[in-house]
Amino acid sequence: MEHVRASDTICIFDVDGTLTKSRNIISPETKAFLQALQKKVHVGLVGGSDLVKIAEQMDGMEREFDYLFSENGLVAFKQGNQIHEASLLKFLGEEASQNFINHALRYLSEVRLPCKRGNFIEFRKGMFNVSPIGRSCSQAERDAFVEYDRVHKVREKMIDNFRQHFSDLGLVFSIGGQISVDVFPKGWDKTYCLKQLQEDGFKVIHFFGDKTAPGGNDHEIFEDPRTIGHTVTSPADTVLQVSRLFP
C-alpha cells in the first residue's frame, strides 16, 4: 500500500540505546527500517553527542533525516543543512568557563580508577562533556568503567561535587551515556529541539528513548507535554514499538 506522508507528525529518536547500542554503529536492519518509516512520517534524531559522533554512528545516513539535532539540538540540521547553533562559551563567558574547567580538572586529578586515559573534558558547542576515565579509552576499558561506576558511583560523586561548587551558574549535570557527564545550561536538554519542531508546524511529536527515568537524559523530553513519550529497551524494541504505531 502507498502511504501519503503525514505532514504534521514526526518521530524523533534518541541515538545510544535507542537506534544503536551505546556508541556503536547503526545496523543495516535499523537503517532500512528508518528509511521505510520516513515514507510514512517525518523522522528526526536527537542525541547528546556532537555531530561527529552521531555521524559515525549513523554510518552515512545522517544527511537523510528530516532533522538531526546533535548536542540535544544545540547544533541542529534540517534536511542536511545547518539551521541552528547555540554557544555555551557565549552563555558562560571565558571567566566562568575557565573556572569550571579548572575545577573539573582539579577534581579529576584526585580520582583514582582501575585505568585512566586521555581527553577528560570535551568543550563542545553547547556543552562540556566530562569523563573521569577519559574519552580516548578503548571499548574494553569503557565496558569495565561502566561496571566500576555502577558499584563506585564515580560520576554521581563527581556531579555532587560540581553541584556544590557551581550552583550559581544555572547549569545542569546529566549522566547521558556510559563514561561521561554532560554539563549544559538549564533548558538546554533534549526539549531544546521542540521549539524548532513547533515552529515548523508539527502537531504530533513521538519521542523514543531509553533513558526516560528521572535523572536520565531522555527524561525531560519524554515528560514534556508537547511530546508523546515512548520508553524503549533496545534498538530491536524501538523497531517493534514503532512498527506497531505505524504498521
Minimum distance of ligand M1P from residue 36's CB (angstroms):
25
When binding is defined by CB under 6 A, the residue of 20, 57, 70, 180 that contacts ligand M1P is: 180
User: Which residue in this structure is represented by grid cell 534536511?
Assistant: 79
Among the listed ranges 42-50, 77-85, 94-102, 199-207, the one in contact with ligand M1P (CB under 6 A) is 42-50
237 is in an annotated binding site: no
Minimum separation from the CB atom of position 148 to ligand M1P (A): 14
CA proximity to 103, closest of 167, 178, 188? 167
Count the Cβ atoms, other than its own, within 10 Å of residue 208: 25
Binding flag, residue 182, ligand M1P (CB under 6 A) = yes
Residues 6+ apart with CB under 8 A from 12: 43, 44, 45, 46, 67, 69, 193, 197, 205, 206, 207, 208, 227
CA–CA distance, 113 with 164 (Å, rounded to integer): 23
> The cell 552515512 sits on which residue?
60
C-alpha cell at 88: 555555551
CB distance 192 to 73 below 8 Å: yes
174 known ligand binder: no
Q: Is 160 annotated as a binding residue?
A: no
How many residues make contact with ligand M1P (CB under 6 A)? 15
Angle between helices 235-245 and 28-37 in degrees, nearest 10? 20
Query: Cβ contacts of residue 138 below 8 Å, gap of 6+?
Result: 117
Residue 28 beta carbon to ligand M1P: minimum distance, rounded to whole angstroms: 21
Figure out which of the listed residues 22, 97, 99, 231 binds ligand M1P, where binding follows CB under 6 A. 22
Task: Let me know if 160 is a catalytic residue.
Answer: no
Q: Which is nearer to ligand M1P, 16 or 220 (CB)?
A: 16
What is the smallest separation between the CB atom of 17 and ligand M1P, expressed in angstroms?
7
The single residue among 6, 9, 23, 64 that binds ligand M1P, judged by CB under 6 A, is 23
CA distance linking residue 113 with residue 49, whole number of Å: 24
Residue nearest to ligand M1P (CB): 177
Q: With binding defined as CB under 6 A, does residue 176 bind ligand M1P?
A: yes
What's the closest the beta carbon of residue 69 comes to ligand M1P, in angstroms?
A: 12
Any contact of residue 48 with ligand M1P (CB under 6 A)?
A: yes
* 143 marked as binding residue: no
C-alpha cell at 216: 536520565
**Calpha distance 115→22 (Å, rounded):** 20
Our answer to whether residue 189 is catalytic in this structure is no
Distance CA 210, CA 140 (A): 22
- Could you list the residues known to form a binding site for alpha-D-mannose 1-phosphate, using ranges: 23, 124, 135, 142, 180, 182
Kindly list the catalytic residues. Answer: 14, 16
| Binding positions for ligand M1P, rule: CB under 6 A | 16, 22-23, 47-49, 53, 129, 176-180, 182, 217
